[in-house]
Amino acid sequence: MKYMVLMYADPAATEAMSAAERADVSRRHEALHRDLAGTGEMLNGAGLAYPRDTTTIRRDGDGSVTAEGPFAEAAEQLTAYYVVDCASPERARAIAERVVDFHVVAVEVRPIHDSFGMGEG
């Protein structure tokens, strides 16, 4: 089953990280990529630009309205994601636990439907 691993961090804390902290985060993610490439579980993933560079488009009556900034106002914002394909929800959670640290303060693990329909829940 495919899972989206959504990583959240405080962008202000990210900007304040030292070079050593950034290197530590990079090493941890590179190790995870290597491990999951070896098992075939890593399908995709990327870091995201800062929330200040985000545009949110919302439905407004019969049209839409565009606003600068993230969908939700919060200290922690979506900063990166992985798409993994693993045998069980427990395995997906074990992968997600590897990215929680001083930088990534929360991770959501969400099953992915194979179609745009709501699928089985």
pLDDT at 75: 87
Angstrom distance (rounded) from CA 115 to CA 50: 29
Q: List pLDDT tens digits, range 1-34.
A: 999 999 999 999 999 999 999 999 999 999 999 9
Query: Is residue 109 within 8 Å of residue 39, measured between CB atoms?
Result: no
The domain ranges of the chain are 2-111
> Residue 101 has what pLDDT?
87
What pLDDT does residue 99 have? 92
**Per-residue pLDDT at 30:** 94
- 69-106 as b/e, with b when 16 or more CB fall inside 10 Å? ebeeeeeebbbbbbebbbeeeebbeebbebbeeebbee
**Tens digits of residue pLDDT in 75-111:** 899 999 999 999 999 999 999 999 998 889 999 999 9
Name the fold adopted by 2-111. Answer: Alpha-Beta Plaits (3.30.70)
The per-residue pLDDT for 117 is 61
DSSP 8-state secondary structure symbol assigned to residue 52? G
Write the pLDDT tens digit of every residue in 36-62: 999 999 999 999 999 999 999 999 999
DSSP assignment letter at 113: -
- Residues found in the chain: 121
Confidence of residue 118 (pLDDT cuts 50, 70, 90): low
Q: Quick one: pLDDT at residue 111? A: 96
